[in-house]
Structures are given as structure tokens and as C-alpha cells.
Amino acid sequence: MQRSFVRRWMLTGTLMVAAALGAGSAMAAGDKITIGVAMPFQGNGWQKGFLAAAQWAAGEINAKGGKTVELTVVDAAGDTQTQIQQINNMTLQGVDFIILEPLSDTALNGAIDNAVVAGIPVLTTALGSVTNPKAIDLQFDYDELGEKYVSYIAERTGGKGNALNIRGLAGNAAEQAIQDAYVKALAKYPNIKIVAEVYGDWNQSVAQQRVSAILPTLPQVDIIFSQGVAAFGAAQAFIAAGRDVPLQVYGFDGVDTNLLLDLNSKSGYQSVAINTDPGIGSVAVNVAVAKLSGVDVPLKMISPVPTITMDDLKTTYKGMADSDIAWVKYQYDWTLANVIHAK
């Protein structure tokens, strides 16, 4: 409690000095902000993009001067108990803010309480929310994602066809939210039939193996539903089996987008990339800086779900390597206007 009092006293003093100087920010020039970034794992392109976006946002803020943002990044390697310990360690180390991609919606609540009691705001994002009401929550509108995704497929197919559904990582809150959004959007199209379902674990190789295993048993497949990186693996399974790649929406990974471009150049295959955006990492950093600068940050916020078209891939994202991932760069001022102060 003493540490919490000291932290609040120091922050209050800083706010008073900034106001007296007429500063646009509530933090004095030269203040250093240490943001802990608790990642669940870094083994896929989406998470690498999230971290790259966070680092980019920190760099943009640093380049403007007035404050220095430093990221302290930890990786739980998919283990909830490790993530709990990492949050507690960052609390003891005295970071100013924690960005958390939670591996559990309940198990991390105690560690979040510890941080908040110590005066350290915690923002949960990307992998889902937690049940602790003290956490700031920055998520995607999964209903928007499902509506965009399914509407595109329905428009292209006339609202009918046999579909293979490739889910993400079983038991994950974000995975279930995405699946629920697809089901909700599909309710308007009763002639789109799910003929099989597998879990791709948000992993290209796993998706390819599991689709390959069931492909001989499937009827004609017109559509593939998936969650991000599974699109590449699914397409490879169909190609290896000598079958045409069904219509599917692609993820933002370079292997996905480059495959889409390759299919387009060879046969005129058309599609788009729609996914939860790793660029939310930049939004999270911007929110952290705003919160520490005295901005009134709401407890619930929504980050955009972008659509990347074929034209975008040939221009804005031209030359992406397979190991790259597309993500949107969200500036600090844009975050203030469109996320923090969104109506």
C-alpha cells in the first residue's frame, strides 16, 4: 500500500507540474515510461506482428520527444502459471503499465489484482478478456469480424455451398468468440452447409495436416472458413491432393497473402484478407501512454477489424516476405480520436 501511495503521489505531482507549464501531455518532458508486455507465446506470425506493432508505436512516440517509452517483453510459452509469475515479477520490478494477452480469463485475476493494488494499470487484449473488472479491456468486435468475413463469402457464392470449418486453438476465449461470431453471421445463410470441422491450432502446419487427413472423406468443398493462418495450410492440403483451392478469406501472414497473389496470377483466383489485426499492439501502447499521461481511458475499448484487398496487397503491402505479416500502423492521435474517445 505504501508503494501504491508513493506511485500515486509521484504521478499526481507530475500532472500538476505539466499543467502548470501548460503542457499538452500530463507527463513532464523527458519522463520514462516502462510498459510490460506479457505475451502468451511468440511462435506464430500474428504474435510477431503484435510485438512489431507495439515496438513501432513506442518508436513513434519516442521520436516525437517529450517522453521515452521502453517495452519490457516476456513470453509465457503458452503456460498460464508462467504468465502469472511474469505479471507478478513485473509488478515487483515496478513497471508503469502492463499489456497482457491473457492465457486464461480467470486464472490471472489474482496477479492483475496485485498489479492494480501496486498502482500499475493492466490492459488485457487480443487473446480475450478476463473476469477481473479492474483490468482495462481492449478487444476486437468479433461480431464485426464474423459479419465482414461471412458476408464476403456469401456475396461471392450466392449464399450457398459446402464449407469446411477450421477452428483455432481449442479452449481459447478469443477462438470461441470468433467461432460464435461466424455462427451468428451464418444464421442468415442456411444454404451454406458446414460439412466438416477441424482445429488448426492457429498453426499453418497443423491445419495442413488435419485437413489432409480428412480431405479424402469430404464431398465437394466450395468454401473454407478459418481463423487467420489456417488458410495457407488448408490451401496447401487441397493443392497436394490435386484439388482446386476453395474460396476462403485469407489471414495477414506473408505466406497467406503471397499464396493469394500466386493463385491470382495463375488462375485469376480472387479473395481478400480479413483478420484480427496484429496492429492492435500499437493501439495498446498508445492507450498505455494516454493512461499514464492523465487521459481518461474507458475500461472497455474496441480496435478495428480491417479488410486487405488484392489491390492493397499489390501496392501497400507489396513485396512482403513469407515470414512477414501485414498489420496497420495506428498513430497515437488516431487512437485518441477513434478508440479512446470513440462514440
pLDDT at residue number 29: 38
Do 25 and 97 belong together in one domain? yes
Do 288 and 213 belong together in one domain? no
Query: Could you give the C-alpha distances from 261 to 109, 227, 311, 315, 325, in angstroms and in order?
Result: 44, 19, 10, 12, 14
Element (H, E) at 247: strand 247-248
Please indicate, yes or no, if residue 63 is contained in any of the structural domains.
yes
Please indicate, yes or no, if residue 98 is contained in any of the structural domains.
yes
| Residue pair 149/142 in contact by the 8 Å Cβ criterion | no
Mean of the per-residue pLDDT values of the chain: 90
Beta-ladder partners of 192:
161
Please indicate, yes or no, if residue 318 is contained in any of the structural domains.
no
> What is the number of other CB atoms lying within 10 angstroms of the CB of residue 187?
9
Do 6 and 127 belong together in one domain? yes
Do 22 and 130 belong together in one domain? yes
Q: At residue 20, what is the residue type? A: A
CA dihedral sign of residues 132, 36, 229, 334: positive
Q: At residue 264, what is the residue type? A: N
Do 262 and 146 belong together in one domain? yes
* Pairing assessment for the beta strands 97-100 and 122-125 based on DSSP bridges: parallel
The CATH number given to whatever domain includes residue 10 is: 3.40.50.2300
Please indicate, yes or no, if residue 203 is contained in any of the structural domains.
yes
Please indicate, yes or no, if residue 319 is contained in any of the structural domains.
no
Q: At residue 237, what is the residue type? A: A
Do 10 and 127 belong together in one domain? yes
Assign residue 116 a region: left if phi > 0, alpha if psi is -120 to 50, beta otherwise?
A: alpha
Dig out the grid coordinates for 176 from the structure.
470461441
The residue ranges of the chain whose pLDDT is under 50 are: 1-30
pLDDT at residue number 28: 37
pLDDT at residue number 332: 97
pLDDT at residue number 66: 85
Q: At residue 180, what is the residue type? A: D
Do 269 and 151 belong together in one domain? yes
Do 270 and 285 belong together in one domain? no
Do 10 and 113 belong together in one domain? yes
Please indicate, yes or no, if residue 316 is contained in any of the structural domains.
no
Do 42 and 115 belong together in one domain? yes
Q: What digits encode the pLDDT tens for the residues 161-193?
A: 999 999 998 988 889 999 999 999 999 999 999
Please indicate, yes or no, if residue 312 is contained in any of the structural domains.
no
Q: What digits encode the pLDDT tens for the residues 73-110?
A: 999 999 999 999 999 999 999 999 999 999 999 999 99
With cell 502469472, the residue in question is 84
Angle between helical axes of 45-64 and 280-292 (0-180°, round to 10): 40
Please indicate, yes or no, if residue 314 is contained in any of the structural domains.
no
The range of the structural domain enclosing residue 244 comes to 142-274
Q: Of 274, 296, 315, which residue is a domain's last?
A: 274
DSSP 45-79: HHHHHHHHHHHHHHHHHHHH-SEEEEEEEEE-TT-
